[in-house]
Chain A
């Protein structure tokens, strides 16, 4: 890549225009996941097989198939037409799809057409996301001076975490301003509709931007690739670097990122049963505190090289993630707390009659308080022996739901654990954009770097919850009917270990000699 002599101010404009758009794309992609429950009620009723089928497609296909396909489709365009117009298109596709999701009438109004439309729009979101990242990272890197490429591209890296934080803030704000019923009925549409304003601003900014100087020069000289796909994946010299980028960097980065930022939250709300709003707020603080580290580690990578920072992050994640998850469990486990026995409250049972079996279930709600201010609530179901003689023996008391509201004294312990996990995320994720752009020549950079990034993150990272749930299910034994709650970590940590080994042995620490543009 050639050196550019842009002023810091001009570079700041390039960063702002690129990263704001990418942030909005992440925001758009995340709100669908964060509002999955409301969307499911509106569009994918579980008692309708067609809707359930479309829901599976929306969940699996958007992340696993369409994102890598978007990387290929838009990567090719970006290497032929240019970076600027391509990632302008991805922004418009993403924004349009997100806004349209907010407008679609529910299943009750237009039937199966509703989930079908949502599916199409979700796939468009996945397609746009697949094209956006490579464009933004390439565009910024091609403006940045070589000795600060890591630092400048790390602003793009931050957008994934900040986009998640913004989506949570907007959703929490909408929830707090509306009643529970109004939010479930129509309020969930607001975060989708708001997207159009943000996209509008971002499009105006991006329209004013110039094409990447490195690409513009290549184009003026007629040296752009006529067929970037064939050149990226058909020529061994380049394809082996695509494979190296995937198996030596993005595969491990994807699982470390997913485990630190998403699986930990899912674990804290699920296996630890911590109140969802409390968990999200505390995680949000940890994210905010850790976000500047993207810049720190990426900047450090400009001085000492990208490889060892990413590898150190992966190794630390492999060695300590399980114990950090155990720490989260220990903090939230009622067995580790001193109970205020005299404050235990059991509400009178409520009864429910099953119309089909005529069984009566009674539910007991118990509230236990602890010396550190934590409150643990459980709802336990039992079959009433009065109405179903003999059946109560078949059904052991079943904990229908439990929720732990942790005392404030636990806040910094939890934030500290998540902060450490986020440090690993920033180590592996901060320098990776600069690392990827340096691995490939300008003429096929957009195409070549986008695919390994989206397979690493979308496929390997995206599989973390699915494979994790499978592994937990395999660990079920008669003595452990719920399975080993840590078994799911074997997948991300195994993948990260393999990636660490490949990375240490094969990756270059500086820009490779494939960046032969001139």
Chain B
């Protein structure tokens, strides 16, 4: 199980920055493309999402790092 935990850890470490980048770049695109009348609204909406989502993805990255380092070996599955 140890090796599988490490593989899943690596997967999480790859997935977290990719998801963070996708969301942020999409948000930037949408904020830039918003019509003037809708600019404030779209910007607020995306900023909230990015602000809350980035720490969560940092958490996924850290989770992956812990898994790679074998920190979950004592948690019996």
Contact = CB atoms under 8 A, between A and B. Distances in A.
Given A53-B44, A60-B45, A502-B8, A243 B75 contact: no
B53 A459 contact: yes
Contacts, number: 79
A61 B48 contact: yes
A504 B7 CA distance: 13
A340 to B, nearest CB: 45
Contact of A247 (B12, B37, B71): B12
A470 B49 CA distance: 13
Interface stretch (A98-106, A120-128, A148-156, A505-513): A505-513
A65 B48 CA distance: 8
A68 B66 CA distance: 23
Contacts of A49: 37, 40-41
Interface in A490-508: 498, 501-502, 504-508
Contacts of B15: 498
B32 to A, nearest CB: 16
A317 interface: no
Contact of A506 (B26, B41, B60, B75): B75
Given A56-B41, A459-B53, A244 B75 contact: yes
A344 interface: no
Contacts of B62: 243
Nearest to A439: B75
A57 interface: yes
A518 to B, nearest CB: 20
Contacts of A53: 40-41, 44
Contacts of B66: 236, 240, 243
A505 B52 contact: no
Interface in A449-495: 455, 459, 463, 466, 470
Nearest to B66: A240
A512 B75 contact: yes
Interface string A233-248: 0001000110110110
A244 B53 contact: no
B41 A240 contact: no
Given A243-B59, A243-B62, A246-B59, A508 B44 contact: no
A57 B15 CA distance: 29
B2 to A, nearest CB: 10
Interface string A242-263: 0110110000000000000000
Contact of B63 (A65, A240, A307): A240
B52 A64 contact: yes
A257 B71 CA distance: 30
Nearest to A456: B56
Interface in B27-77: 37, 40-41, 44-45, 48-49, 51-53, 56, 59-60, 62-63, 66-67, 71-72, 74-77
A334 B72 CA distance: 53
Contact of A60 (B49, B67, B72): B49
A68 B53 CA distance: 12
B52 A65 contact: yes
A508 B75 contact: yes
A247 B60 contact: yes
Q: Most chain-B CB neighbours within 10 Å: which of A64, A307, A455, A505?
A: A505
A244 B8 contact: no
Given A502-B8, A508-B76, A64 B49 contact: yes
Contacts of A509: 77
A236 B71 contact: yes
A375 interface: no
A505 B11 CA distance: 13
A240 B12 CA distance: 14
Contacts of B59: 243, 246-247
Given A64-B49, A68-B52, A247-B63, 17 more contacts: A49-B40, A52-B41, A56-B44, A56-B45, A57-B48, A64-B48, A240-B66, A246-B56, A307-B77, A498-B15, A502-B63, A505-B5, A506-B8, A506-B75, A508-B76, A512-B75, A513-B74
Closest 3 CB pairs of A and B: A243-B63, A60-B48, A64-B52
